[in-house]
Chain A
Amino acid sequence: MSISLKHISKSYGDLKAVDDISFEVKEGELFGLIGPDGAGKTTLFRILTTLLIADKGEATVAGYDVVKDYIDIRNHVGYMPGRFSLYQDLTVEENLEFFATIFGTTIEENYELIEDIYIQIEPFKDRRAGKLSGGMKQKLALCCALIHKPKVLFLDEPTTGVDPVSRKEFWEMLKRLQQKGITILVSTPYMDEAALCDRIALIQDGKILEIDTPKEIVKHYPKKIYDIRTDDMYKLILNLKEYEYNYAVHPFGEFVHYTDKRDSFDPDELIQFLESKKQKNIIIQQTETTIEDAFMELAK
C-alpha cells in the first residue's frame, strides 16, 4: 500500500474537520478525494504530508509513519498545496533549481520526469514566477513538486481557478506521471474530474461517504435521471420541486437533472404538469448518471 489511513480524526476546537477516516491507496494508483469546500480534504493532505498531527489514528505514506518517520516522508513525497506557494520574486528556473537543491538533487538528474511539463514553461524560464499565468504557475508548481522524484504525489485542488483547457492538459499530465509509477492523491471539488481517477473517495463534513471506482459509484445510483430544460429555468426548478413525485432536482449545466420517485415514470405526464404551469419549449430526455448526481444522492 502506498498510502494507508486508519481511523484518522482531527478537530479544530469543536469543529471535526476529519472524523474517523480510513482508506488505502495502492501503489501507482490515481486516487481522488472528491468533496465540496470545507469537507476536510486539505486537513487530510496536511496530515499525510506531516504538516499536521492527527488527534487520533495512524497513517503511513510510502511505508513510513506520518508521525515517527516524518523526515523520510518529506524526502519521498511531493506536495502541491492548493494555493500557489512558490517564490513569486524568483524566476521559473530559479524556483526549480532552489527546490532541487534543498532536496539534494539537481534539475538534470530527474529531468526526464518533468521534461514534458517543463518544456511547456521553458520559454518563460527567465520570467518571475509571480508574473506567470494561472495555468503556467500550476505547471511550475508541479515541476517543483516532482523535481526530487517522489514516490507519492499530493495535489490539493490543483485545478481550482485554472481554465478548462489547462485543466484538461493538467489531468493528461497526471495520467502520464501515473504511468511512471508515481502514486497520486489528488483532491478536487470538480465532479467531472472525478471520472478521470482510478478510484475516488467522496467526502463530506469530514466523513467518507463512499470509496469506489467512478463507474461503480455511478452504478450505485438507484434511479434513472432525466435532463429537462425549458425557457424559464429558474421557474422550472421551483415547479419540479412542487411536483409530487419528484425524488431529486439539481441544476446541472444548461439542464436540470430530475429523478422521479416512481419506477415507471412517464415523461409525458411531467410535460403536461409543466405545461399547466405555463412552461414553454419543454425538453425531456434520459441521461447518464454522473458522479455529481451520485454525490448529491449520498450527501442527502
Chain B
Amino acid sequence: MKTIGYIIQKEFKQIFRNKAMLPIIFVLPIIQLIILSSAATFEVKNIAFSFVDHDRTSFSRELINKFEASTFFNVITEFPSEKIASSAMLKGEVDVILEIPQYFERDLLKNRKTNLLVIINAIDGAAAGVENVYINQIVRSFNINAQTDLMQASDKKNIPKNIISIPSFWYNKTLNYKTFMVPGILVILVTMITLFLSGMNIVREKEIGTLEQMNVTPIKKHQFIIGKLFPFWVLGMVLLTVGLIIARVLFNVPMVGSLALMYLYTSVYILVILGMGLFISNFTDTQQQAMFIAWFFVVIFILMSGLFTPIESMPEWAQFLTEFNPVKYYVEVMRMVMLKGSSFIDILPQFLKTSIYAIIMNGLAVWSYKKTN
C-alpha cells in the first residue's frame, strides 16, 4: 500500500510539473466544451435563399414575402434569370433557388394548379432534407391562404378539414440542442483526456528508459499499474466535475437525475478507458504510436456513439458494432440521468455492460503487461 501511495504521489508530482501538459489537461477541455456545445448544432438556420420571379404578380410577391418572414431563411437575393441563379449556387452564394414560373397567378386562379421549381444545394443531404421541409411548409401555408382567398362562398363547405397536431416535447421542452449536446460532449472530453493521458503515460516511461529501471525493482505488477493509473482516474473525475459545473452554470442544462449516480457510473466507465490506455501502451514503444492508436479508437468511438448521428439510423452491422462502444453507453447514461432523471434501475443494463467491459479490458491490459520479456 505504501508503495502504491508513493508511486501515486510521484505521478501527481510529475503531472503538475509538466508545464505544457497542465493546461492541456484542464483548460483545453473546458474551452472545447464551451465552443463545441455552442457550435455543434443540427438546426438548419440562416439558409441563403434566392428566387427568380418570372411572374411578378401580387401572388408571387406574397409567396416571397412568406419566405422573407421566415426566421430560417435570410439573405434573400433576387436573380433575373435561372442561369445567373445557378452560377451563384455553384459559387456557394446561395443554398436554395425558388423559381416562380410565368403565369403563376393566372394558372393558379384559372386551373387551381401550378408548378414551382425549387433547387436545393444537397451536398449536405441532411440539411437539404430539412430545408425541403421548411420550404414545403411555407408553400403549403401559402396554398391554404390562396385557396381561402380564391374560394367562392358556395365552395366553403368543400374545404378539406385539416388535422392539426401540437407536439409536446418531453425532457427537452424547448428543443434546445445544447441540452442535448452538452452531456454528450462532456462524455467525449472525459474519454479523450483520460485515454490519451493514460495511454501515453506508461509509454513515456518506456521511451525515457525509466520502465527498465522500475522493472528491476521489487515493485509488483499490480502496484505499479494501480499507482500509474489511479491519478488519471482522479483526473477524469475532476474533469467530470468541472464539465458538470460548466453545463449547469453556463448552459443551464437541467440536471434532473442524481449526481451520485453520474459519478458512480463515471467511476466505472473511467476504469474501462484506463484499461484501454494501458492496453495500448503495452503494444507501443513511443508516445507517438500510442497517440495514433488512441486517436483511431477515439474517432470510431465518437462517430459510433450516437452523439452526432442516431444509432437507429445506422446499418444493422454498424448498430451491432456500437454494442462494443463504451462511449455509446456513457452518452446514453449521461443523457438519461441528466435530462430524464433515470434511476439506477433504468441504467442497470448499461452499468452492467460497462462493468463487464471494465473487467475484461483491465484483465487484458494486466495480462499483456510484462515485466520480463
Residues of chain A touching chain B, judged by Cβ–Cβ distance below 8 Å, are 49-53, 70-71, 74-75, 77, 79, 81, 83-90, 94, 98-99, 101-104, 128, 144
Contacts and interface: CB of A to CB of B under 8 A. Distances in A.
A50 B3 CA distance: 21
A102 B223 CA distance: 10
Centre residue among A53, A75, A90 by max chain B CB count within 10 A? A90
Which A-B residue pairs are the 5 nearest by beta carbons? A85-B209, A79-B216, A85-B213, A101-B6, A74-B218
Interface of B: 2-3, 6-7, 10, 13-14, 17-18, 208-210, 212-219, 372-373
Contact of A90 (B10, B209, B212, B215): B10
A101 B217 contact: no
Nearest to B5: A101
B213 A79 contact: yes
A53 B6 CA distance: 29
Contacts of B212: 51, 81, 85
A103 B214 CA distance: 10
Contact of B218 (A51, A53, A71, A84): A71
Given A51-B212, A81-B209, A90-B14, A101 B218 contact: no
B372 A102 contact: no
B216 A98 contact: no
Contacts of A83: 209
A69 B2 CA distance: 24
A51 B209 contact: no
Contact of A102 (B6, B13, B17, B209): B6
Contact of B2 (A50, A70, A71, A101): A101
B211 to A, nearest CB: 8
Contact of B217 (A86, A90, A102): A102
Nearest to B16: A89
A104 B220 CA distance: 12
B216 A101 contact: no
A75 B213 contact: no
Contact of B372 (A70, A84, A87): A70
B196 to A, nearest CB: 18
A52 B209 contact: no
B279 to A, nearest CB: 21
B218 A102 contact: yes
A102 B218 CA distance: 7
B369 to A, nearest CB: 14
B218 A75 contact: yes
Contact of A52 (B3, B14, B372): B372
Given A70-B372, A81-B212, A86-B210, 16 more contacts: A52-B372, A74-B217, A75-B218, A79-B213, A79-B216, A83-B209, A86-B213, A89-B14, A89-B18, A90-B10, A94-B13, A99-B217, A101-B6, A102-B7, A102-B219, A104-B3
Contacts of A88: 208
A50 B216 contact: yes
28 contacts: A49-B216, A50-B216, A51-B212, A51-B215, A51-B372, A53-B372, A70-B372, A74-B217, A74-B218, A75-B218, A79-B216, A81-B212, A84-B209, A86-B210, A87-B10, A87-B210, A90-B10, A90-B13, A90-B14, A90-B17, A101-B2, A101-B6, A102-B214, A102-B217, A102-B218, A102-B219, A103-B217, A103-B218
A87 B218 contact: no
Contacts of B3: 101-102, 104
Contacts of B6: 98, 101-102
A53 B13 contact: no
Contacts of B217: 74, 99, 102-103
Nearest to A144: B213
A50 B219 contact: no
Nearest to A70: B372
B373 A53 contact: yes
Contacts of A77: 216
A52 B216 contact: no
Contacts of A70: 372
Contacts of A75: 218
Contacts of B213: 79, 81, 85-86, 144
Contacts of B18: 89
Contacts of B208: 85, 88
Contacts of A53: 372-373
Nearest to A88: B208
B216 A74 contact: yes
A87 B14 contact: yes
Centre residue among A86, A101, A102 by max chain B CB count within 10 A? A102
Contacts of A103: 217-218
Nearest to A51: B215
Nearest to B209: A85
Contact of B10 (A50, A74, A98): A98
Contacts of A50: 216, 372
B197 to A, nearest CB: 15
Contacts of B218: 71, 74-75, 102-104
Contacts of A104: 3, 218
Contacts of A94: 10, 13
A101 B2 CA distance: 8
A238 B288 CA distance: 48
Contacts of A128: 17
A87 B10 CA distance: 10
A182 B345 CA distance: 63
B24 to A, nearest CB: 16
Centre residue among B7, B18, B215 by max chain A CB count within 10 A? B215
Contacts of B373: 51-53
Nearest to B224: A102
A81 B208 CA distance: 12
Contacts of A71: 218
Contacts of B10: 87, 90, 94, 98
B226 to A, nearest CB: 13
A100 to B, nearest CB: 10
Centre residue among B3, B216, B217, B373 by max chain A CB count within 10 A? B216
